[in-house]
């Protein structure tokens, strides 16, 4: 697979972000960001409004975050095509803190995750997508409701399943 076919270049939208953003908590709106996908089309998180979205931060060198991503495969398979009462779909966006794009690509191939929204800008902890959420540790994830508000943070597979099941 070509290196550029996997590379997703992240571009933080016009968010007016300060050097250090406050910690995001349940009930807060998640900042919008855009990224270029493998088919050269630019996507924005705001395009997923009306759907539940799990935004997760990980890195190929962080075994706990990779294990957590693998844990989410079953939940994703269960809910990706589900018709929710007040939402269209369920999506997962994985944002990598890898600095070596080749290492990130190898991890993606090895883990074979079913969702297609994978992003890495090669800037690691210096990425704008890290500072916009004031990320302090890996793994970290945020579950967003159809309005883009955080309804859960740092959840595990069973907690995600319990939240999505009645919706």
- Report the CATH number that the domain containing residue 135 is assigned in CATH: 3.40.30.10
Residue 155, both tokens: 């959840």
pTM summary value = 0.85
Q: Which domain holds residue 157?
A: 48-164
The pLDDT value recorded for residue 2 is 37
The pLDDT value recorded for residue 39 is 47
User: Looking at the domain assignment, is residue 11 inside a domain?
Assistant: no
Give 122-128's long-range contacts (Cβ < 8 A, gap of 24+). Answer: 122/98, 123/99, 124/59, 124/97, 124/98, 124/99, 125/97, 127/10, 127/95, 127/97, 128/10, 128/12, 128/17, 128/33
Number of domains in the chain: 1
Q: Are strands 90-96 and 117-119 parallel, antiparallel or unpaired?
A: parallel
User: Looking at the domain assignment, is residue 43 inside a domain?
Assistant: no
User: Looking at the domain assignment, is residue 143 inside a domain?
Assistant: yes
The pLDDT value recorded for residue 166 is 86
Mean pLDDT within 32-46:
72
Of residues 96, 94, 47, 88, the one with CA closest to residue 73: 94
Mean pLDDT within 139-143:
97
Confidence of residue 155 (pLDDT cuts 50, 70, 90): very high
User: Looking at the domain assignment, is residue 117 inside a domain?
Assistant: yes
Confidence of residue 36 (pLDDT cuts 50, 70, 90): low
User: Looking at the domain assignment, is residue 74 inside a domain?
Assistant: yes
The pLDDT value recorded for residue 128 is 92
Angle, to 10 degrees, between the axis of helix 101-111 and the axis of helix 63-79?
50
User: Looking at the domain assignment, is residue 114 inside a domain?
Assistant: yes
Out of 5-19, 37-51, 114-128, which region has the weakest mean confidence (pLDDT)?
A: 5-19
Mean pLDDT within 104-118:
92
User: Looking at the domain assignment, is residue 81 inside a domain?
Assistant: yes
């Amino acid at each position: 697979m070509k290196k550029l076919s996997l590379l997703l270049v992240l571009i933080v939208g016009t968010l007016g972000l300060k050097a250090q953003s406050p910690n995001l908590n349940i009930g807060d709106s998640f900042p919008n960001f855009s990224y270029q996908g493998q088919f050269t089309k630019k996507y924005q998180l705001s395009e997923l409004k009306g759907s539940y979205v799990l935004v997760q931060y990980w890195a190929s060198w962080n075994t706990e975050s990779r294990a957590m991503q693998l844990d989410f495969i079953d939940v994703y398979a269960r809910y990706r095509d589900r018709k929710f009462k007040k939402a269209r779909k369920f999506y997962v966006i994985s944002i990598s803190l890898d600095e070596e794009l080749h290492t990130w690509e190898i991890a993606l191939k090895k883990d074979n995750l079913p969702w297609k929204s994978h992003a890495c800008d090669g800037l690691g902890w210096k990425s704008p997508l890290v500072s916009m959420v004031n990320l302090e540790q890996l793994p970290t994830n945020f579950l967003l409701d159809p309005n883009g508000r955080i309804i859960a943070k740092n959840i595990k597979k069973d907690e995600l399943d319990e939240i999505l099941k009645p919706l």
